[in-house]
Amino acid sequence: MCAVKARIAKTASGIGISVTAHRFMPSGPLTGRIRVPGDKSISHRSLMFGALAVGKTTIRGLLEGEDVLATGRALAQMGAKISKEADGSYSVNGVGVGTLLQPQGALDMGNSGTSTRLLMGLLASHAITAAFTGDASLSKRPMSRVIDPLSLMGAAFTPSPGGTLPLVMEGIQPGVPITYRLPVASAQVKSAILLAALNTPGTTTVIEPVPTRDHTERMLHGFGVDVQVDVIDGERHISITGPADLTPCDIEVPGDPSSAAFFAVAASIVPDSDLVIENVGLNPTRDGIFRVLKQMGASIQYLEEREVGGEPVADLRVRHAPLQGIEVDPEIAPSMIDEFPVLFVAASMATGATVTSGLEELRVKESDRLSAMASALTQAGAKINERADGLLIHGSGGKPLAGGGPVTTHLDHRIAMSMAVAGLASKAGVEVDSTEPIATSFPNFSDLLDEAAS
């Protein structure tokens, strides 16, 4: 492997033609200390709950990616006052549950599925008509899984064919309380229903056969909402009795474990790496990637374990270690569903085969992430067998991948970042067709790569 500083090299397709393809080159050891941006899931919810609380909510560590900013712009259209302070924190002066204003224009969600589905839930129990639009990638993603339960609560939807954006939603006030068992594990669907419940008289209950990330429950409790969580016959029953009032509070957003995962994998597969990733959220519904990497033999230590804003947090020390292929338990998928693309990169460098299954959800993300990663890693020299619900990855035994490209990202930020990590552990680097989607979730990704490898 070339012992050179990690860098991004632009490629040119012709004189005077602007291109966005980039090649991520082989890297020397990743060392030192870095801090990844704030958790995206918590950032979205911080803005939404702040908008529903009467008074001032202060948010520190907010992720300033395009997805979160789309949430902020939409809330501002409905009356919330959101401003960035001199110290980098954000202030949200909310309008209260039930008093959001009718937006004057369409709500542009950009590429953010989280913004779309959660805001649909938030508005479902308000007497508001809203048009939701998004970019080409978001407009292909299914919204029926949210439309179905919110329709039971009384909201009406006119989506595009196939249940996609653009769509028009007519909220209803008061809404109808429901009891809804999730047909597929989805924190977004659960959260949409709970948000609608805040302004719905009576008790609304969501039943989770498989636990999903619980930021909504934790944070609503922090805003003063009585969220009841019971385990009955192995299933979680989450209930809210509305209408509920939210009390403004101060929020410290921990580092995003999904963002930290890229650096944890990079440090694991690049020889001689010894990297500390500071302030990483380790919510047990979100830390599956680190548990699986440890099962594969990764050297990951939790330092200074603590609690911040009701969320478990630690600094992660990750050192290079030989990885072993494993069969990944499909039950762990909900706690790391967004991290599978970079896990596939780690598996491609392991000794032996890694088997993943139960991942049909990955086919309806920003892209078909199973097909996209199978194709991209194959182009980079890995041996991959694509299956209906997962990938079978034959590891290189720690040897660098050949590299190559350009691989197609399908405008999916996690494909782009995962293949960037693959480039660090390759012979010739990996070229991706565009790094622009990375701004949606991790604006300073490339700068941190350079910092860690310098």
Q: Which residues are catalytic?
A: 338
40 annotated as ligand-binding = yes
Q: Is 141 annotated as a binding residue?
A: yes
- State the Cα torsion 316-319-320-321 to the nearest 10°: -90
Q: Is there a binding annotation on residue 365?
A: yes
The reply, when asked if residue 414 is annotated as ligand binding, is yes
User: Which residues partner with 179 through β-bridges?
Assistant: 205
Token pair of 229 as six digits:
């969580």
- Token pair of 430 as six digits: 């990996």
Annotated ligand binding at 433? The verdict is no
**Pairing, β 250-252 against β 55-60:** parallel
- Residue 319 marked in a binding site: no
Question: Is 87 annotated to bind ligand?
Answer: no
Strands 430-432 and 404-407: parallel
239 is in an annotated binding site: no
CA distances from 63 to 88, 190, 275, 435 (A): 11, 22, 22, 18
The response to whether 295 counts as a known ligand-binding position is no
d(C-alpha 269, C-alpha 257), whole Å:
18
Name the 3-class secondary structure at 35: strand
CB 63 within 8 A of CB 39: yes
Token pair for 189: 């669907």
State yes or no: 13 annotated in a binding site: no
List, as one string, the DSSP characters of 159-221.
EETTTEEEEEEE--SS----EEE-SS--HHHHHHHHHHHTTSBEEEEEEESS----HHHHHHH
> DSSP label at 367?
S
434 is in an annotated binding site: no
Cis peptide before 142 (omega within 30 of 0): no
Question: 307: helix, coil or strand?
Answer: strand
Spatial distance between the Cα atoms of 294 and 250, rounded to a whole number of angstroms: 34
Annotated binding site for 3-phosphoshikimate: 40-41, 45, 186, 188, 338, 365
Annotated binding site for phosphoenolpyruvate: 40, 113, 141, 188, 369, 414
Annotated binding site: 40-41, 45, 113, 141, 186, 188, 338, 365, 369, 414
